[in-house]
Structure 1
Amino acid sequence: MDELVARSSGGELEFSLTWLNGGAKSTGAEATFGNLRVCLRGRPVWHGEDDTTGFEWTWIELLEFLGEYWLYLSVEDGCPFGVAPNTAPRMFAAAEAAIEMRPSSEAEYEREQLEAYRLTHDLAEALQGVVSPPLWVVRDGNVGWMASTAMTATVPFEEMLDVLTAVGDFISLRLNGLGDERSIQAVQTWRERDHHDRLRVIEAATGYPPELVAEVETAFPSQDDSQWSTPASDELLAAARLVGPQPLASLRPILDAVRQAHKVETSELDHLSEQASEVIARASDEPPYVQGYELADWLRSQPGIVGANGRVNPDHVLRLWRVPVIDVGLGLIDVDAIGCWGPSHGPAVLVNSDRRHATNSGRRRATLAHEICHLFADRSTSLPLVEVLGGRTAKHVEQRARAFAAEFLLPRRLAGEAFMDVDGDDERAAKSLRARFGVSSALLGWQVRNSAVFLRPKSRQFVDRLIGDQAGLGWF
């Protein structure tokens, strides 16, 4: 077989590879000389002199790259530093901007981490001695992104792996029977791409540096444990990744809490999740915060969600869905809660009783509302296993959940109208809203500011103080 066309089911992603050397082939480079054309959403991003032809090269290099870095491509979840998936240059620039905001003592190490990510996720790095456009492979939970200079394509992540597997198998088949050491090594590495040392798997899945992996590896199941058989779908590895690098003493209580969350059946929540995906699809071109507003409006319209006087009770909503809320000391004071809902644990929401201001009712309600958004909107896409509020969850996913939580608890329209109906008595308006909706002053202030109502200068100053006075409590 001299030609391969591997594409995703919807045609968003397509690799077309044709061999050009039909004669005697003594080396892998000679055997895999051919042209490759890659299309994202029907538009060529890797091509020859014109976009109707393939890019001529020796594609043993691509097989070597896929074999060497398959673990990172398949297990490493999320973009560097939580930036939103986008075109390759924009992701890289956003990650660099995030690094610039970090203390100088951390910046050098994080630049190394960003470069390591690029070197293992950009297929262009496979090609030695030629300049080609970037082509990043990015996992975002259950969603796969392929990103070039100006184009992106999204497909189910397993479909993306299937396409890359077909390409790798096609090149490997071409090398079968060749006796040069390079060909033999490339085929062997490709065939053994799913077999790795336990420590390397933990490193790839968590993003922890090797010296820390050696310290914390005892906190994870042993290799013969059934949970360890599919590390890409392991709630414990996902939780470790999202809380960020932690010493064993800090990590173990977190993993123990997730481990103790029993698997429960949540058919009603699953049904709502299917409907929520349709709401998100209709707003797919909108910014994340707009999607959050749309989801909140939709959920508030569902039967049994909104109580008397327009107030919602997140605890009640979670009980309706049979999702337990468990207060547990997690040790880390910057983590509000952990939501887990993978194949072995949950759904459950673990509220951190060690969090600063843990007894603040408004903050707790906002935390549970935040997790509600992840539960019904993100389990099938960006967060199939675990979410850590206060951890390293991707920024675009968190932006949507934050907007949802605020709008779900206190719609902007009602917040703004309350300040118009009290004849300038801003303190009375704020007191009434806090009592009626059970929200913090900061959340109230944001919802008034983001409403469409006109505020008097005095009222605007009052709202700004509400937000500023609560800065120590975080966004909510």
Structure 2
Amino acid sequence: MTASPTFSLNLIPVDLGRTPLLWALSVTAFEQVIWPNVNAPDQTIEIQLDDLFSFLVEFWKPLLLRQTYPAGLTPERPSLLAADAAKRWANVPQDQADEEGSELDAFEEAHNLALAFGGMFDLPPLWLVRQGEQMLCDTNRNFIHLPFGKVHTELTRVGDEIAQHLRRTDEAKWSRIIEAWGCRDRASGVKLVSWSASLEDEVATKLIDQGLIDPPATFAEAVNDDDELLIAARVAGALPYEQIVQILDIARDFRHHRADGLDALSAKVSAYLRTFEVVEPHAQGETVAIFAREQLAIGSGERVDIFGLATKLGIDVRVDAIGPKTFDGLAIAGNRYGPGAFINRNGQRIREKGGSDLNNDAGARINLAHELCHLLIDRNHPLSAIEILRNRMPGNIESRARAFAGEFLLPSATAGKIWDEAGSPTDRYSLEAVLQRLADYFGVSFSVAAWKVEHGARWGLGQGGREQFRRLQAMLDSIASYR
């Protein structure tokens, strides 16, 4: 069976005459063998072809539509799911841990291809989990972001070719599963919403019946994942039904409009992001923030008028007080809604709940800068980024946006320079004075100011200032432990 160059399941028959279903399998990504053994490119595993086919038939919909992890978890990569769950279960009742453990087992069964081959143990994992326009492929040794469309095409090709082979081998014996493969894209509107947003069928039905979500007309439409409200429902899906409805109502209020300034800056930022090697999400956020300030001609020592800037870029910014208090806000942009950003005046970061000018509120400024990052970078498909307790935004995307917000409002280099000009203090009184000065002038929280001083000092002191940096860290731990 031929393979595509970007991602391929390489299948070679072992002995078609004697064992027509026994095939050798290896997996390639970007022309490198990644499974079963990256160190032995010629190594394969011998599988029963019907095992792989059964896996594709049974888990086709979750593989292509599901984009969230169970139990509200957002691990940095699929292989860390169990470790993150173990940390969570240390602080929950046993019956809850048992229930969530069953959810994790079911999730892994659908997304870890290595479990498809009955009786074969100790295989390295082969996770496939969708994240927007990418498919995360995780083998422990390799963590690769693959184009979703390429993976979809390859899985379709493999399934079609296996179906043809089974038909030639014994059509009567395999007719039912071949028929099931042919019907793999059939599903009701409720099921398409349920899989796409990771919602229970009952919740999906209610949202459809109330007109809050239009179900995809076809499976292909659901796969395209271009409905802003469906994405919003996915991100908020771990919340109670009433809160999901409230968030969807907010999103629906943002009418679609042109935002040429935002589009132009987003294009430049996205192009710039593609010019450097893959780095950690927080490093991406900080680097892009520095670049965005340069493009907007905002000096490193200038305070950003974040509300005025958002309006200038064409972002519809709205502020209102709604519950829950853990809901900070959302960003939305697509073909039907936005671009817009909502800031919740009741959010836990907002200091002046009744203030008339939130441009001077550190929490509101951080929230809006956070949403600006989503609107600049995460525009490869419709976005609905929601900052809320137990949301389902991928952890790496949130980490990048948090880093962007802090760096955009207060560059680390500037914070480090001001600390240095003040005499590089590490005593509480003098250090608190520097932090307060930064917080007041740049309009950030005390904890953000402490975070940026720490980052700026780390690079400014260099190797020779390790002891002084340790003293700084120790005092910052005392002053702002949650930075």
Fold shared, TM-score > 0.5 on shorter chain? yes
2:241 is aligned with 1:236: no
| Partner of residue 147, structure 1 | 138
| Partner of residue 169, structure 1 | 160
Which secondary structure state, in structure 2, belongs to the residue aligned with residue 338 of structure 1?
strand
User: Is the CA contact (8 Å cut-off) linking 2:260 and 2:314 kept in structure 1?
Assistant: no
After TM superposition, give the deviation of residue 409 of structure 1 in Å.
0.6
Question: 2-side partners of 1:340 and 1:228: how far apart?
Answer: 23
Distance 1:266 1:59, change over 3 A: farther
User: Is the CA contact (8 Å cut-off) linking 1:142 and 1:384 kept in structure 2?
Assistant: no
| Partner of residue 311, structure 1 | 303
The 5 A counterparts of 1:201-220 are: 201-210=192-201, 212-213=203-204, 216-219=207-210, 220=212
Question: 2-side partners of 1:228 and 1:167: how far apart?
Answer: 18
User: Is the CA contact (8 Å cut-off) linking 1:410 and 1:444 kept in structure 2?
Assistant: yes
For residue 11 of structure 2, the aligned residue among 17, 33, 37 is 17
Alignment gaps of 5+ in structure 2: 353-360, 462-467
Distance 1:435 1:168, change over 3 A: same
Question: 2-side partners of 1:226 and 1:57: how far apart?
Answer: 33
User: Is the CA contact (8 Å cut-off) linking 1:124 and 1:134 kept in structure 2?
Assistant: yes
Offset from partner CA, 1:109-154 (integer Å, 9 cap, x none)? 3222221211101112222232343211111221112222412332
Which secondary structure state, in structure 1, belongs to the residue aligned with residue 242 of structure 2?
helix
User: Is the CA contact (8 Å cut-off) linking 2:185 and 2:219 kept in structure 1?
Assistant: no
2:317 is aligned with 1:325: yes
After TM superposition, give the deviation of residue 295 of structure 1 in Å.
1.2
After TM superposition, give the deviation of residue 310 of structure 1 in Å.
0.8
Which secondary structure state, in structure 1, belongs to the residue aligned with residue 3 of structure 2?
strand
| Partner of residue 122, structure 1 | 112
Question: 1-side partners of 2:383 and 2:90: how far apart?
Answer: 30
Distance 1:6 1:457, change over 3 A: closer
| Partner of residue 326, structure 2 | 334
Question: 2-side partners of 1:393 and 1:325: how far apart?
Answer: 21
For residue 349 of structure 1, the aligned residue among 320, 341, 348 is 341
2:76 is aligned with 1:84: yes
After TM superposition, give the deviation of residue 183 of structure 1 in Å.
1.6
The 5 A counterparts of 1:317-466 are: 317-358=309-350, 360=352, 361-380=361-380, 384-390=382-388, 391-422=391-422, 425-452=430-457, 463-464=476-477, 466=479
Farther-moved stretch of structure 1 (209-218 vs 398-407):
209-218
User: Is the CA contact (8 Å cut-off) linking 1:311 and 1:437 kept in structure 2?
Assistant: yes
Offset from partner CA, 1:332-365 (integer Å, 9 cap, x none)? 2211011112333222112223323545411000
User: Is the CA contact (8 Å cut-off) linking 2:350 and 2:362 kept in structure 1?
Assistant: no
For residue 60 of structure 1, the aligned residue among 43, 50, 53 is 50
Alignment length (residue pairs): 454
User: Is the CA contact (8 Å cut-off) linking 1:329 and 1:354 kept in structure 2?
Assistant: yes
Which secondary structure state, in structure 2, belongs to the residue aligned with residue 387 of structure 1?
strand
Alignment gaps of 5+ in structure 1: 25-29
Question: 1-side partners of 2:76 and 2:116: how far apart?
Answer: 24
Offset from partner CA, 1:16-45 (integer Å, 9 cap, x none)? 223455559xxxxx6543333212341251
After TM superposition, give the deviation of residue 458 of structure 1 in Å.
9.0
Question: 2-side partners of 1:228 and 1:259: how far apart?
Answer: 24
After TM superposition, give the deviation of residue 369 of structure 1 in Å.
0.7
Distance 1:97 1:343, change over 3 A: farther
| Partner of residue 6, structure 1 | 4
Which secondary structure state, in structure 1, belongs to the residue aligned with residue 76 of structure 2?
coil
Counterpart AA for 2:75: V
Distance 1:32 1:7, change over 3 A: farther
Question: 2-side partners of 1:456 and 1:122: how far apart?
Answer: 44
If the length of structure 2 is used for normalisation, what is the TM-score? 0.82
Distance 1:226 1:40, change over 3 A: closer
Counterpart AA for 1:333: K
Which secondary structure state, in structure 2, belongs to the residue aligned with residue 310 of structure 1?
coil
RMSD: 3.3
Counterpart AA for 1:417: K
If the length of structure 1 is used for normalisation, what is the TM-score? 0.84
Offset from partner CA, 1:355-394 (integer Å, 9 cap, x none)? 23545411000011111112212222xx742111122322
User: Is the CA contact (8 Å cut-off) linking 2:65 and 2:195 kept in structure 1?
Assistant: yes
Distance 1:363 1:429, change over 3 A: same
Distance 1:129 1:16, change over 3 A: same
Which secondary structure state, in structure 2, belongs to the residue aligned with residue 434 of structure 1?
helix
After TM superposition, give the deviation of residue 435 of structure 1 in Å.
2.8
Distance 1:100 1:342, change over 3 A: farther
Which secondary structure state, in structure 2, belongs to the residue aligned with residue 146 of structure 1?
strand
| Partner of residue 71, structure 1 | 61
2:151 is aligned with 1:183: no
Distance 1:252 1:456, change over 3 A: closer
Identity %: 25
Question: 2-side partners of 1:137 and 1:416: how far apart?
Answer: 42
| Partner of residue 39, structure 1 | 28
Counterpart AA for 1:368: L
After TM superposition, give the deviation of residue 50 of structure 1 in Å.
6.7
Which secondary structure state, in structure 2, belongs to the residue aligned with residue 393 of structure 1?
coil
User: Is the CA contact (8 Å cut-off) linking 2:189 and 2:217 kept in structure 1?
Assistant: no
Question: 1-side partners of 2:85 and 2:141: how far apart?
Answer: 17
Offset from partner CA, 1:38-74 (integer Å, 9 cap, x none)? 1234125137997426433321221221122111111
User: Is the CA contact (8 Å cut-off) linking 1:279 and 1:294 kept in structure 2?
Assistant: no
After TM superposition, give the deviation of residue 181 of structure 1 in Å.
5.9
| Partner of residue 158, structure 1 | 149
Question: 2-side partners of 1:403 and 1:274: how far apart?
Answer: 20
Question: 1-side partners of 2:453 and 2:40: how far apart?
Answer: 54
Question: 2-side partners of 1:255 and 1:227: how far apart?
Answer: 22
Which secondary structure state, in structure 1, belongs to the residue aligned with residue 331 of structure 2?
strand
| Partner of residue 251, structure 1 | 244
Question: 1-side partners of 2:340 and 2:441: how far apart?
Answer: 27
Question: 2-side partners of 1:365 and 1:155: how far apart?
Answer: 35
Which secondary structure state, in structure 1, belongs to the residue aligned with residue 103 of structure 2?
helix
